[in-house]
Chain A
């Protein structure tokens, strides 16, 4: 079942190679490279959420997804910061600091989500003696 993750990455790899083609000339990472890294992190997290049985590892995969989003926001913030003048000249209003601020709120929400989620896990383990999600089927009819 590791094949799920490998399969997910295999579906992604040709797209990435295609997207990376013009950049083979210069390997220096730009915004696109950060977006690709963030996307791959996101896909790994989604694969974890969809395929694992242990609910704690599913929570960890959710943390991975949130981190991918954070990386995306910070990369865009840096991009806006560096290209502020060029974008301002085009008449676009840019606020490069919105990225870090939003990232901090995402971290706060992630911490709250982890606390409540793990509280639910403990309560559920106390009642059902399991952390496998396919054995937690009390609401299934």
Chain B
């Protein structure tokens, strides 16, 4: 899955943007700034999905995350905003420096030991199939002249409704339960009295 030419450059640009925006999400003082940086991160990740030819997931990411979840976050920030964090004396972080460092260290070690054998394991089929990549790129180039529609959405939709039909229904039930639960949790005392 080597990316070539401008795609490789685009990958590095998007990766650096994603990481910087993610760090800004964690370090921002005001929660609204954090939410805006998170939107930027999510859009960058969606662009990376497009780079990986997963257009349907990229669209779902933009629609659900940026259009739905982040609007919810911004509304809650608006409701809950005490504006206390804009003052410099308010602490932003809990004092958990040592747990954070230890867990980062453990993650780094586990990443190293997971990646070291994996590198050798992932390379041979990669080099074995350099020709399909080229064939696919030429195919895409010729397809670009005519009808430039990716089949990703169709394939994922078929898979979703055939092989994964039961999980799909369970997921919709989960969303219903979450919706009812969120309404139940967020209602005020006045509404509670009214309904009881």
Q: Which residues of A contact B (CB under 8 A)?
A: 1-5, 7-8, 11-12, 15, 18-19, 22, 26-37, 39-48, 50-54, 56-57, 59-61, 63-64, 67, 70-71, 74-75, 77-79, 81-83, 85-87, 90, 97-101, 103-105, 107-116, 118-123, 125-126, 129-131, 133-134
Interchain residue pairs A-B with the least CB separation, the first 9: A119-B185, A112-B178, A8-B104, A48-B26, A1-B93, A119-B182, A86-B125, A115-B182, A83-B125
A60 CA to B100 CA in the complex, in Å? 17
Can you list, as one digit per residue, whether each of B28-63 has a CB less than 8 Å from chain A (1) or not (0)? 100100110010011001001100111011001100
* Chain B at the A interface: SS class: helix
Q: Is the pair B69, A2 in contact by a Cβ cutoff of 8 Å? A: no
Chain A CB within 8 A of B85 CB:
yes
Q: Is the pair B119, A19 in contact by a Cβ cutoff of 8 Å? A: yes
Q: Is the pair A71, B186 in contact by a Cβ cutoff of 8 Å? A: no
Within 8 Å by CB of B133, from A29, A47, A82, lies A82
Q: Is the pair A44, B128 in contact by a Cβ cutoff of 8 Å? A: no
Of chain A, the residue at the smallest CB distance from B58 is A74
Q: Which residues of A contact B101 (CB under 8 A)?
A: 4, 7-8, 11
Inter-chain contact total with CB atoms closer than 8 Å: 284
Q: Which residues of A contact B34 (CB under 8 A)?
A: 56-57, 60
Q: Is the pair B54, A77 in contact by a Cβ cutoff of 8 Å? A: yes
Q: Is the pair A31, B1 in contact by a Cβ cutoff of 8 Å? A: yes
Of chain A, the residue at the smallest CB distance from B97 is A4
Chain A CB within 8 A of B12 CB:
yes
Shortest Cβ gap from B128 to chain A (Å): 5
Q: Which residues of B contact A52 (CB under 8 A)?
A: 26, 92-94
- Contacts A7-B104, A11-B105, A79-B1 given; does A125 touch B80 at CB 8 Å: yes
Within 8 Å by CB of B65, from A63, A75, A116, lies A63
A77 CA to B155 CA in the complex, in Å? 13
- Contacts A83-B126, A118-B76 given; does A46 touch B107 at CB 8 Å: yes
Within 8 A of A (CB), among B81-134: 82, 85, 91-94, 96-97, 99-101, 103-105, 107-109, 111-112, 115-116, 118-119, 122, 125-126, 128-129, 132-133
